Chain A
């Protein structure tokens, strides 16, 4: 039985670093924005409409081959800690984490496929895979999309394509994004140049972790900006092509880093490991910074343990919502830092 607890006890499949180019690309996510024909979009719908959509999606999910045993979490009943955990696991958005009527999230096994119901659109289907695999992820989410359409009947026009609440998503409704770890380019001061050329190619780039402050740890999200006028596969291929090119540049930068400042880099990586493996209080930002440095070291083979998968997992489970859920209450800041340090030490010791 797939439950919230079992989800927490097992890392999501996309964290396992088994995908192509997982040393640079953590994950690929493809999401589709869909609305049900004949029902107002969530921002204009009545509570009854929204609950009706919720029930139809739940039924459609039960009848689909891919979400049969899915875990369904009702946002009207979820605690703040549960909501934060869902955001941190990339299963819901910040916007979704408030208790509006009819909001549920449907989560398939290993968190590969999931659906947000009644966020900005009635349905946001997503597929997250490890490493760089936009086309594969698109094909998988496309299969479940077809299954759901059989029961839901999507709002669609032959001119505009799939109709969405925000015109930025109209057409294919597809957003393909990769989460890239670009520490080499950041350290070699080449990141700005690379990001500029990426945005010229019509893709958007933004810093990933860090709440509104600096892009922490060299994590960037690269995704398609437009959704209309191209086929879904073309969009996925474009992201794949551009991301592969970025991977090439990142690997060059990492090689230069090893060549020109190898000793300093090795020192920083081992210091990061040392602190993470021994510290008694670790703040969120410090944890992100050190984990990122450790991740670079693991990818370059500078340290043998832990593996990439373990570091990926640290990035998720050390975030505030996860700690708060584990605590069961609302831990004070220092208590949270202590819990984080304990958790990191435990996780790293398990890799020995």
Chain B
């Protein structure tokens, strides 16, 4: 329960440090915004606040006249609904909202690329996709710096890899 209005459920916890004593409060989003606390105490706030802040900023940038935004074909969630409750509905949402999510995720994590573990069941495929990304990056760089011989080599390598991935494609579903 929100400690300020005592009506709405508390969704934000924030901590305040005065004279070395830290106090935490549980507030609803409205009261937190009213007090301006979500912004000023951001460094102490939990992940939920960061994302809400990201979402609020974005809402401000785009103005109130917002259409429903893209809708996920997997679960029917609209991007606008996501912005209200902060939860995605299924794995496909990440693809359906990729363009909208990228800046939000960058703001939260300072990165948009996973560099941690890979599930064993996918390890091989994920590696090829990582290799593909790296090769494409190298190809762009080679073209920019006019190293055409190197670029041709990279192009062939990418083609070979693409053929391999396409051949695997039929069997890698849910294995």
Contacts and interface: CB of A to CB of B under 8 A. Distances in A.
Interface stretch (A17-25, A59-67, A154-162, A302-310): A154-162
B101 interface: yes
B20 A189 contact: yes
Contacts of A12: none
A205 interface: yes
Given A44-B75, A153-B174, A204-B44, A213 B23 contact: yes
A241 interface: no
Contacts of B40: none
A228 B112 contact: yes
A231 B117 contact: yes
Contacts of B101: 167
B15 A205 contact: yes
Nearest to A200: B43
Interface string B67-88: 0000000111100000001111
Contacts of A191: 17, 20-22
A163 B91 contact: yes
Contacts of B60: none
Contacts of A153: 119, 121, 174
Contacts of B119: 149, 153-154, 156, 162
B19 interface: yes
A136 interface: no
Contacts of B25: 212
Contact of B109 (A43, A227, A232): A227
> Would you call the interface of chain A mostly helix, strand, loop, or mixed?
loop
Contacts of B174: 37-38, 153
B152 to A, nearest CB: 26
A157 B126 CA distance: 8
B121 A159 contact: no
B96 interface: no
B88 A142 contact: no
B147 interface: no
Interface string B95-118: 100000100110011111111111
A70 to B, nearest CB: 22
Interface string B147-161: 000000000000000
B44 A142 contact: no
Contacts of B130: 158
B31 interface: no
A50 B116 CA distance: 28
B89 A41 contact: yes
Among B25, B43, B45, find the residue whose CB has the most chain A CB atoms closer than 10 A: B43
Interface stretch (A109-117, A170-178, A291-299, A338-346): A170-178
27 contacts: A39-B90, A41-B75, A44-B75, A149-B119, A150-B121, A153-B119, A155-B91, A156-B119, A160-B94, A166-B87, A167-B88, A170-B109, A171-B111, A186-B20, A189-B20, A191-B17, A192-B22, A195-B22, A202-B110, A205-B44, A214-B21, A214-B24, A215-B22, A215-B23, A228-B111, A229-B112, A229-B114
Interface of A: 35, 37-41, 43-44, 120, 142, 146, 149-150, 153-172, 174, 186, 189-192, 195-196, 199-200, 202, 204-207, 210-215, 220, 225-232
Interface of B: 3, 10, 13, 15, 17, 19-26, 43-48, 50-51, 74-77, 85-91, 94-95, 101, 104-105, 108-122, 125-126, 129-130, 174
